Amino acid sequence: MGEAIITRRGGSGEVIVEFESFTPSDTVAMYHPDGELTRSTPTGLSAGRSYLVGASVGNYALFAGGDYSDIVDAYNTNLVRSTPTALSEAREHLAGASVGNYALFAGGFHFPSDDNRYKDTVDAYNTDLVRFTPTALSVGRERLVGASVGNYALFAGGKYGSEEYKDTVDAYNTDLVRSTPTALSVARYDLAGTSVGNYALFAGGYGFSPRYKDTVDAYDTSLVRFTPTALSVSGSYYVGASVGNYALFAGGYNGKCTNVDAYDTSLVRSMPTALSVARFGLAGASVGNYALFAGGYGYEISGSVNTVDAYDTSLVHSTPTGLSVARYQLTGASVGNYALFAGGLQYGMGNQNAVDAYTLQVSVAILYTPIGTKYKFGESEEETATTNEITARVPITGYIKFKNGVISNEV
């Protein structure tokens, strides 16, 4: 511990306890949006799989499909796993997005004995994890992507067959009614999606010559399409995530790409610090004041990586603890105070059921004091305790003033 506590008697019979970088022996960790990124490993998926997709609704993060599976795994805000009703059709390479009280999973691919391989199916799960099957996509397709804006979940792009690339966009409102807004400016698949402010953005992808795309399409809350500045590098297999006033696109397949492109709420592009490792097949998710990009297939090592890159609301880059298992073609979703990364392929080892959960924690001390105690910690204003507990981030610098009673926790 090694820090001093100074006590002195104030006027009117007050006792003043002053703290200078003091850390009590009894501290606890709790969530704080400006805390340190920490990793835990909750119960794994009910089955290992890749090419699955994540989406969130209410108090749940859902992970659906993958490897021709119909499995859905749900994690609540305490990271307890459940397995709600399965998808109506087993499939991989589907897309996920959320709107209102629903998480939607759309499209995908399955390899049955008939020709119905490219799926137009949409499954919707409400906040109680009850499944609905709204109107199908306007065109069956795989390797599309989802993003949300205002009262809409959008599903964009994709492919049907080996050379039939799609520019289709399907939009579902909060009542699960489908509409078809203006198509993408360029037909493509393996594109990335995320949202910022009043826009859903769709970036990159693979299509007709030139094969690798740098195109970005943005849809506003009225489903009007815009085409902001293109990505800095054309490519497919980008992944998107959002933080604060930015939508970020990272990774990608077309050479050893480490670039990160950030679009603000006015669709102005900037380029923050690059990824620490060039890779594709990574996943994105957000928690608190951070957007995270996890895993992927690394060019330099020709294998799966466990690297996690984090960007805060000022686009400052950091590298928190890596994934528990190196893998690619995983997926991400957020719930409560957690960003989760689930499933994926480990090079040479096959499908994984690992789930990694990232949260933001600070160490705090719970100080037990009389009601009415006045206190000030750090740069905050002086406050008055309305309960017998005061929570202080450690190390503690500041003071406590009280007249009667005692305070406890190594004080």
Scan for tokens 């909060």, then name that residue. 174
pLDDT single digits (tens) 63-112: 999 999 999 999 999 999 999 999 999 999 999 999 999 999 999 999 87
Q: List the structure tokens of 383.
A: 């406050």
Sign of CA dihedral 140, 212, 190, 288: negative
- The pLDDT assigned to 325 comes to 98
Distances in whole angstroms, Cα of residue 400 to Cα of each of 170, 318, 369, 377: 58, 35, 9, 9
209 DSSP assignment:
S
CATH code at 33-362: 2.120.10.80
- The pLDDT assigned to 8 comes to 61
pLDDT single digits (tens) 3-19: 556 566 655 667 888 88
Residue 11, phi then psi, degrees to nearest 5: -75, 165
Return all residues near 322 (Cβ < 8 A) that are at least 6 apart: 305, 306, 307, 308
CA 404 to chain centre: 48
pLDDT single digits (tens) 334-362: 999 999 999 999 998 999 999 999 999 98
CA 343 to chain centre: 15
* Model confidence at 227: pLDDT above 80: yes
CA dist., res. 339 & res. 40, Å (int): 11
By the 8 A CB rule, do 29 and 361 touch?
yes
- Please tell me which residue, 400 or 123, carries the higher pLDDT value: 123
CA 250 to chain centre: 13
- Specify which residues 172 forms β-bridges with: 153, 178
pLDDT single digits (tens) 273-330: 999 999 999 999 999 999 999 999 998 888 999 999 999 999 999 999 999 999 999 9
CA dist., res. 392 & res. 322, Å (int): 29
- The pLDDT assigned to 234 comes to 95
Other residues' Cβ atoms within 10 Å of the Cβ of residue 230: 15
CA dist., res. 329 & res. 341, Å (int): 10
pLDDT band with cut points at 50, 70 and 90 for residue 385:
very high
Please provide the average confidence, as pLDDT, over all residues in the chain.
93
* Model confidence at 123: pLDDT above 50: yes
pLDDT single digits (tens) 19-70: 888 888 888 888 988 889 999 999 999 999 999 999 999 999 999 999 999 9
* Model confidence at 255: pLDDT above 90: no
Bond before 210 cis per omega within 30 degrees: yes
Nearest to 248 by CA among 169, 189, 192, 331: 192
- The pLDDT assigned to 1 comes to 43
Q: Where are the domains of the chain?
A: 33-362
Residue 33, phi then psi, degrees to nearest 5: -60, -20
Other residues' Cβ atoms within 10 Å of the Cβ of residue 181: 17
Residue 207, phi then psi, degrees to nearest 5: -160, -150
pLDDT band with cut points at 50, 70 and 90 for residue 254:
confident
Nearest to 139 by CA among 113, 163, 160, 111: 160
By the 8 A CB rule, do 85 and 71 touch?
no
- The pLDDT assigned to 25 comes to 80
b/e per residue 210-220 (b: at least 16 CB within 10 A): eebbbbbbbbb
Residue 308, phi then psi, degrees to nearest 5: -125, 125
The amino acid that residue 17 corresponds to is V
What string of DSSP letters covers 98-166?
Answer: EETTEEEEE--B---SSS--B---EEEEETT--EE--SPPSS--BS-EEEEETTEEEEE--EETTTEE-
265 DSSP assignment:
T
Other residues' Cβ atoms within 10 Å of the Cβ of residue 175: 10
pLDDT band with cut points at 50, 70 and 90 for residue 113:
low
pLDDT band with cut points at 50, 70 and 90 for residue 411:
very low
The amino acid that residue 229 corresponds to is T
CB half-sphere exposure, 347, CA atoms < 13 A: 14
Cα three-residue angle 375-380-381, rounded to 5 degrees? 65
Task: Average the pLDDT over each of 133-142, 327-336, 369-378 and give the range with the smallest value.
Answer: 369-378
Bond before 42 cis per omega within 30 degrees: no
Residue 13, phi then psi, degrees to nearest 5: 75, 15
Q: List the structure tokens of 382.
A: 């002086």
pTM as predicted: 0.90
- The pLDDT assigned to 266 comes to 98
CA dist., res. 100 & res. 89, Å (int): 23
* Model confidence at 207: pLDDT above 80: yes
Class of residue 155 by CB neighbours under 10 A (exposed 0-12, middle 13-18, buried 19+): buried
pLDDT single digits (tens) 142-198: 999 999 999 999 999 999 988 899 999 999 999 999 999 999 999 999 999 999 999
- The pLDDT assigned to 2 comes to 41
